[in-house]
Copies of this chain bind each other. A is one copy, B any other.
Amino acid sequence: MAESMQGLHRSHRCTEVSNKNIGETVTVMGWVQKRRNLGSLIFIDLRDRSGLLQLVFDENNGEVFEKAKNLRSEFVIAAEGVVRQRSGAVNENMATGDIEVTVNTLRILSEAETPPFPVEEDANTREELRLKYRYLDLRKPHLQRNLKMRSDITTFIRKFMSNEGFIEIETPTLCKSTPEGARDYLVPSRVHPGCFYALPQSPQLYKQLLMCSGFDRYIQIAKCYRDEDLRADRQPEFTQVDMELSFVDVDDVIDVNERLLKALFKEILDVDVQLPIQRMTWIEAMNRYGSDKPDTRFGMELIDVTDVVKGCGFGVFTGAIENGGSVRGLNVKGQGAMPRKKIDKLVDSAKGNGAKGLAYIAMHEDGTIKSSFAKFMTDEEMDNLIKAMDGQPGDLLVFAADKNKIVWNVLGALRLELAEQLDLIDKSKFNFLWVVEFPQFEWSDEQNRFLAMHHPFTMPMDEDLDYIESDPGRVRAKAYDIVLNGSEIGGGSVRIHQADVQERMLKALGFTTEAAHEQFGFLLDAFKYGVPPHAGLAYGLDRLVMHMTGEDNIREVIAFPKVKDASCLMTEAPTAVDAKQLEELSIETIDVEEEK
């Protein structure tokens, strides 16, 4: 049975006790990590949030010794005793490895059944079981550390931004649904039958309105929601570090964020971020890395050989070029002897990314080459191509030929896959990069119209303003992403603050005047009454913390995450609800087998 802790008061957390306390009486409380019986002595490793401390029970203290015999893993106890130099060998792996506490008083605050999996690192437990018993999984040191670091990160960000004059303002989470963008989570209204709120995909419109209100600098660490299929780095609810600034341009946003990142990484990880962070235009990022979030921790850049192979004998190349596409290659240094089977796998994954195939030249150390397309080329054509690729004996050259978008995607993905395979990435590095000058619009074959690449409130670059109607594809935006090690950790833009430009933009995106006003009327209205130039940025906090903790799944930095089907294995949410609840909301479920 559970005993009360009445009359006892914790004096230290486990690792707050040290050899400075030798001879003192302390009271510690925590979980039994493990018990060892050594004849007349019982040893307990006591665990709390701070770490482990060894407790000793001596059979000379009969009553307490007998009680200690009952202790099992995960029992919660309170122990009062005297700190002593450790009697056995010092444990170098433990902060308190040179001391122990000889217990005089023991209370069992809570007993424990044998847990469904051992509460220790590297226990080989299925993730489903870990998530069902998340409260046990969270006892593990790495999750304790991750969530502590997450808390430290947000605490630091808030402090830094507050010092920079940012005001934290909470925006609503019961919002208006807007069809543009990802799928909304909806909330039926009881008071307004047939009507729904939407959970926010971001506080975008609200923060722009706050700039209209003159708050000047806004920050919020805000919950956001997207009802989309999940991936390793995506949850139905996620957290943004969201900011907006008035009377600024691109450089001002970048400046404050660079200083934030430098200070944050120094404070939390003792990592020095070199400023200024490199900036790269979107087009350069695509051309060099085949990605708008390039991992710059390694080279192996894309090489454009379109001009070299133009007019060559290989129809795959020339056909792509004639269709307005390009031919680009990667030089996989030192991999000329890659087995055919492995090359075939590369071809397969290229096809998975939309390529029709992958051409290659394997350059052997002896100077001979093997190529999938040499027979279509003259020797001179081959020589020129190899030269353009800086091919050396021992190298593997791979090529994709198609529309630019496909070539970039294919080679960008291949580059990452090869880097992983060949272990080219220095995982200790934190490589930051600004990607700037994104296209304003993105053509959607599916919807047969232009979509906003960032969102409809992004300001075009001044010199491209004239092309919104005449040539949307060439309009670049005052948009920027901050990329860390090949992952987009944040992004933002300067916003349109002129009502007329905003209306042109919405028109270019296919909104009728009515539709625009129905959806964004309050923003367009606000724009009539004096709007400051403004710009902002939002970080994906989960992803940022994931990188800073060195995890590769955001579930490891979220206390109670959901799984791929957006359910919670611990609470079993979502669940069926009482018919009465639905009735009050004036909704009913369809296409569901009813419980009779």
CB-CB nearest in chain B for A148: B167
What is the CA–CA distance of A566 and B305 in the complex, to the nearest angstrom? 61
- The segment from A98-106, A342-350, A422-430, A580-588 found at the interface with B is A580-588
Contact with B along A561-591 (1 / 0, CB 8 A): 0100111101111111110011011111111
Q: Most chain-B CB neighbours within 10 Å: which of A159, A189, A249, A586?
A: A189
Say yes or no: is A138 at the interface (Cβ < 8 Å to chain B): yes
Which residues of B are found within 8 Å of A438, using beta-carbon distances? none
Which residues of B are found within 8 Å of A185, using beta-carbon distances? 174, 187
B249 touches A6 (CB 8 A): yes
Say yes or no: is A265 at the interface (Cβ < 8 Å to chain B): no
- The segment from A312-320, A443-451, A521-529, A548-556 found at the interface with B is A521-529
What is the CA–CA distance of A49 and B534 in the complex, to the nearest angstrom? 14
CB distance from A13 to the nearest CB of B (A): 7
Within A105-122, the residues touching B (CB, 8 Å) are: 109-113, 115
Contact with B along A47-90 (1 / 0, CB 8 A): 11100000000000000000000000011101000000000000
Say yes or no: is A175 at the interface (Cβ < 8 Å to chain B): yes
Say yes or no: is A158 at the interface (Cβ < 8 Å to chain B): yes
Known: A110-B497, A151-B168, A528-B113. A584 touches B183 (CB 8 A): yes
Which residues of B are found within 8 Å of A183, using beta-carbon distances? 190, 581, 584
B136 touches A574 (CB 8 A): no
Within A227-255, the residues touching B (CB, 8 Å) are: 227, 236-237, 239, 246-247, 249
What is the CA–CA distance of A74 and B531 in the complex, to the nearest angstrom? 9
CB distance from A228 to the nearest CB of B (A): 9
What is the CA–CA distance of A47 and B567 in the complex, to the nearest angstrom? 49
A5 touches B249 (CB 8 A): yes
Say yes or no: is A123 at the interface (Cβ < 8 Å to chain B): no
Instruction: Identify which of B113, B169, B532, B577 contacts A186 (C-beta below 8 A).
Output: B577
B591 touches A193 (CB 8 A): yes
CB distance from A85 to the nearest CB of B (A): 27
Which residues of B are found within 8 Å of A115, using beta-carbon distances? 529
CB-CB nearest in chain B for A155: B162
Say yes or no: is A266 at the interface (Cβ < 8 Å to chain B): no
What is the CA–CA distance of A247 and B500 in the complex, to the nearest angstrom? 61
- The segment from A195-203, A366-374, A388-396, A505-513 found at the interface with B is A195-203
B76 touches A193 (CB 8 A): no
A592 touches B31 (CB 8 A): no
Say yes or no: is A533 at the interface (Cβ < 8 Å to chain B): yes
CB-CB nearest in chain B for A223: B173
Say yes or no: is A300 at the interface (Cβ < 8 Å to chain B): no
B187 touches A572 (CB 8 A): no
Interface residues of chain A, those whose CB is within 8 Å of chain B, are 1-2, 4-6, 10, 13, 29-32, 47-49, 74-76, 78, 109-113, 115, 133-136, 138-139, 144, 147-148, 150-151, 154-155, 158-159, 162, 167-177, 179, 183-199, 206, 209-210, 212-216, 223, 225, 227, 236-237, 239, 246-247, 249, 462, 497-498, 500, 522, 525-533, 558-560, 562, 565-568, 570-578, 581-582, 584-592
Could you pull out 30 A-B pairs where Cβ atoms are within 8 angstroms?
A1-B498, A29-B532, A30-B214, A30-B532, A32-B530, A76-B531, A111-B530, A113-B528, A135-B529, A144-B215, A150-B169, A151-B168, A170-B239, A172-B559, A174-B562, A174-B573, A177-B581, A183-B584, A186-B582, A186-B585, A187-B187, A187-B574, A189-B566, A192-B565, A195-B575, A198-B573, A206-B559, A586-B589, A587-B587, A588-B590
